[in-house]
Structure 1
């Protein structure tokens, strides 16, 4: 059924991925220049907050959108718990890839500029980590349901 607790966790994954797409992931200020990363673009602002340069990072947005879509698909796979767990495991890998891609993008920029400071990770980045926790909790409850069904089948 859709009202199970794991469906709530999967819906929270979808919401978290929406937050990731809609908010900033990272910000760095160096010598009155600010670098801001969101799910689709890395922008460099000058002291007057005018865009100096802009680089497309569409793959971050694509990973976040696909991860949210997988969580949404997983909600409606409640009749086949094994498939639901498989989709969630794939989704976990996608989210780890998204965190790694974000981290590599920000660290690559810091290395390019020769800066030791890591910058500030914003709410969009932390939403990815929250989504990973929600996905893990959903998988845990799906596994509990599967074990309960198997134990009932043994009793018959």
Structure 2
């Protein structure tokens, strides 16, 4: 049935991935007010001031991060409609957990290692709402998996009584 509680969590995973795709994940200010670095799902952008007085913009595309986020959202939506096969839903949640771990690893690598070289090395920068949406997706995925396994256990117990 679609109205089970794990459906809500799977739908929340898709919503949070969409939110993370549309909002920046991290931002750091440089030593000058015009300098900044920003991480979104599509790019890592650095704006620096040149000694001549102009500004330099460096953009590193991160299309693979956006593809992973979209993949997690699509897989979670597909898992919603696999309610008749709970083992398949569990497998999809496991795949989503691996993809979400990869997304978090990429985001943390970009912020903590590549971002540290920009501006003040002691300043870590600020995590923005898009990053927290990734954490929400991880928690919702764990909860969805827990409720799917609970339903499967109930069905197996009821089959023993028959």
TM-score bracket relative to the smaller structure: over 0.9
Q: Does 1:142 align with 2:148?
A: yes
Distance (Å, rounded) in 2 between the aligned partners of 1:75 and 1:96 = 21
- Specify every segment of 5 or more residues in structure 2 that has no aligned partner in the other structure, as ranges: 50-54
The residue correspondences of 1:1-156 to structure 2 (distance < 5 A) are 1-32=1-32, 33-46=35-48, 52-113=57-118, 115-156=121-162
Contact 1:43 1:51 survives alignment (8 Å): no
Superimposed CA distance per residue, residues 113-155 of structure 1 (whole angstroms, 9 cap, x where no aligned partner):
3712211111111101100101111111111110110011000
- Specify every segment of 5 or more residues in structure 1 that has no aligned partner in the other structure, as ranges: none
- Paired residues, number: 154
Normalising to structure 2: TM-score of the pair?
0.90
Normalising to structure 1: TM-score of the pair?
0.93
**Higher helix share goes to which structure?**
1
Distance (Å, rounded) in 2 between the aligned partners of 1:17 and 1:51 = 31
1:112: Cα distance to partner? 3.2
Asked which structure has the greater CA Rg, the reply is 2
